[in-house]
Amino acid sequence: MTGATILLAIFDGVAYAALVFMVAVGLTLIFGVLRILNVAHGSLYAIGAYLTASIGGAIFAMGWSPVLAFPLMLVSAALVGVLLGAPMERLLLRRIYHRPEVLQLLVTFAVFMILEDVQRLVWGNQPYFESSALALLGNVQVFGVYYTVYQLILLPLVAIATLIGLRLFLRRTLTGKLITAVTEDREAAQSIGIDADRVYLLTFVLGAALAGLGGALASPTTSVLPGIGAEMIVLSFAVVATAGLGQIEGAALTALMIGLGRSFAVYLFPELQVLVPYLIMLAVLLIRPEGLFGSPAARKI
Amino acid sequence: MSVRLILPALAIVALALVPPLAPFLQVLLTLAMAKGIAVMGVTLLLRAGQVSFGHALFFGIAAYGAAFLAASPLDDLLLLLLAGALGAGIAGVLVGLFVVRYRGIFFGMLNLAFSMIFWSILEKFYYVTGGADGLRLPRPSVAFIEMDRGPYEVLLYYASLLLAIALGWFVVRFLASPVGQLFQTVKTNETRLEYLGVSARRTLLKGYVLSAVLCGVGGVLMAAAQGIVTPSYAYWIRSGEMVFIAVLGGAGSVVGAFAGSIAYELVRSYAAAFAADAWQMVLGGFLLAIILFAPGGLVGIYAAFADRIGARRAKSASKKEAGT
């Protein structure tokens, strides 16, 4: 491996980690508060990507400015959060908070099955590719290596902003503190007058929107086609599980670790590319079953 | 009890008469029973309170193992079944040693991760596995007697039926055995199990390996019936289908696994044409409806119905006695 390929591998890994983090952080946030693992989370990512690529393709073909690609991503994320996340929590998840974990998994799995087909019904089987946002920002040269500004600078910046923003939101704002309180002890929080139902809804919409934003940000860098949702839920679960369920900062570090591991594999052992994230996860879980940053759960008797 | 057993008994008789009386259903029901055997594996784990979103892994491993063996001189159906079951069992021990450390979310998702790994190996190493096109599985001999297509398919049908009954009976006996009782305690009270001095992990592992073998047998039967194996055998959609059928039939019910898979295959072959693009969506919708409104599944509905008839009969019998 020459210096240039090492650098390329690092850049690839960082860009990829930023995208995975956006999805994983939503997954881990929802789990932290609702105690439900949303199997349909990958579909929300895919739908965010589809929305951005298809709406973007349509409006740029009509001659609108490509600068609109960036606000469009936020709009797509908001649409995913409000139009999919909100009904899902209100109509479905609300009925099953007190049911066994297996049932909760089955319900979100059923939603995953439904959303995978919704994508195919709406967008068909052909791939979508819309990279105006990528082209708009151009390239940058770092130590003799050319890389896109979008992937090297924008994606990591958005990921870091999300991480810091979430931390400040949860620790410093009233709404964030309410969320933290409900996470700690739902009954105690309710007894002092916190509307836990609203907190659950808000968290789920926020988490879903983050998945949508992840998809929207990913869309300029890759073709959007059926199956990306299934891949993403498994990958983001690998990140979340390696970090420890519910660990936001941990998810960021783990995403970086898995992203770099994967991109180095692309250059060194291309066939192992898909396996590396899982190998990292299995290695970590063998040694620390509760994840890198998780704490062992107390035993219930 | 007597009323409840009427329908299953009738169903077995009807199934045995299918090849001579309704040959058009033969292939479809062979596939249904192959799937039913695999679904029993998922059902078994539901009895321990665990759901696996990746049991297609064992289905696929056994099917590919059979396809590889069929390319060698040892292409005999009995050997394929043995090899598939053995391969799935070994894979079950290896994966099981890891996943039985977890419950609930982790158990389900780690199984999914393992199956996705296997699926991507199948797709990537195409020079060994044939990639997305898969491998052909030429018609094997049976007990080293070459067979024509017609008799082979009839034989495969009866082999599937026989295996379904035999393995179904075995699973029922397993669940009633001391090991099976301990296995189900993983769901109700795992801590108590540990206090009894029994290792919960080892108990779960035993059931897990059995469930992997069941999926393996189902996979080989399906491959032998279709004559081709593809990566879709190990894809999450297949695992999802198994979970769906297990819940449809009645979560945790052995008879339900077969009732569910026969109902599923019949509906799929006739109705899927109307909803070819939205099949997963229909399944997902049904899954939600069953979980939320009929958690007992088909078996639960039938049991409630049978109990009502039984109760009515008992009432009329007691009335008669009072009259005389």
CA distances from A76 to A145, A204, A219, A256 (A): 33, 16, 11, 25
Cα dihedral: A214, A220, A222, A223 (round 10):
110
For chain A, the farthest-separated pair of C-alpha atoms sits apart, in whole angstroms, at: 65
CB-based contact (8 Å) between A266 and chain B?
Answer: no
- Count the neighbouring beta carbons within 10 Å of the beta carbon of residue B105: 21
Band of pLDDT at residue B320, cut at 50, 70 and 90:
low
The b-or-e profile of A22-40 (16+ CB within 10 A means b, else e) is: bbbbbbbbbbbbbebbbbb
Question: Does B42 or A137 have the greater pLDDT score?
Answer: B42
Residue B57 has pLDDT above 90, yes or no: yes
Average pLDDT value for chain A: 86
- Residue B212's identity, in one-letter code, is A
What gap in Å lies between CA A105 and CA B133, rounded to an integer? 32
CA distances from B161 to A250, B8, B35, B142 (A): 51, 13, 12, 16
Per-residue pLDDT of chain A (301 residues; tens, 9 = 90+): 677 888 888 888 999 999 999 999 999 999 888 888 898 999 999 999 999 988 888 888 888 887 788 888 898 888 988 999 899 999 888 888 888 887 888 899 889 988 988 888 888 888 888 877 787 777 777 787 788 878 888 899 999 999 999 989 988 999 889 988 888 888 888 888 888 888 899 999 999 999 999 999 998 888 888 888 888 888 888 888 888 877 888 899 999 999 999 888 888 888 777 788 888 888 888 788 777 887 765 544 4
Question: Nearest CA to B168 among B57, B233, B260?
Answer: B260
Tell me the chain B residues in contact with residue A288 when contact means C-beta distances shorter than 8 Å.
none
CB contact under 8 A, B287 and A118: no
CB-based contact (8 Å) between B205 and chain A?
Answer: no
Q: Which residue of A has its CA nearest to B95?
A: A282
CB contact under 8 A, A289 and B292: no
Range B169-182 average pLDDT: 93
The token duo for B24 is 């058009």
The token duo for A207 is 């988490």
What gap in Å lies between CA B90 and CA B55, rounded to an integer? 14
How many Å lie between the alpha carbon of A295 and the closest alpha carbon of chain B?
15
CB-based contact (8 Å) between A300 and chain B?
Answer: yes
Contact B225, B72 (CB under 8 A): no
Task: Kindly provide the ipTM of the predicted complex, given to two decimals.
Answer: 0.78
Band of pLDDT at residue B157, cut at 50, 70 and 90:
very high
Band of pLDDT at residue B96, cut at 50, 70 and 90:
very high
Helix (H, G, I), strand (E, B), or coil: what is residue B50? coil
pLDDT digit string (tens) for A2-11?
Answer: 778 888 888 8
What gap in Å lies between CA A95 and CA A87, rounded to an integer? 12
The token duo for B86 is 């053995």
Residue B216 has pLDDT above 90, yes or no: yes
- Count the neighbouring beta carbons within 10 Å of the beta carbon of residue B259: 23
Tell me the chain A residues in contact with residue B100 when contact means C-beta distances shorter than 8 Å.
none
A-B Cβ pairs (cutoff 8 Å, strict):
105
Tell me the chain A residues in contact with residue B101 when contact means C-beta distances shorter than 8 Å.
289
CB-based contact (8 Å) between B280 and chain A?
Answer: yes
Q: What was the pLDDT predicted at A149?
A: 79
Place of tokens 């590396």: A276
CB contact under 8 A, B291 and A103: yes
Q: Which helix (H) or strand (E) holds B281?
A: helix B279-293
What are the start-end ranges of the E strands in A155-296? Answer: none
Band of pLDDT at residue B20, cut at 50, 70 and 90:
confident
Phi, psi of A139 (to 5 degrees): -110, 165
What gap in Å lies between CA B20 and CA B17, rounded to an integer? 6
- Residue A290's identity, in one-letter code, is E
Q: What was the pLDDT predicted at A299?
A: 47
Domain ranges of chain A: 3-224
Ordered DSSP codes for B122-167: HHH-HHHH-GGG-EE-PPPBBTTB---HHHHHHHHHHHHHHHHHHH
Band of pLDDT at residue B83, cut at 50, 70 and 90:
very high
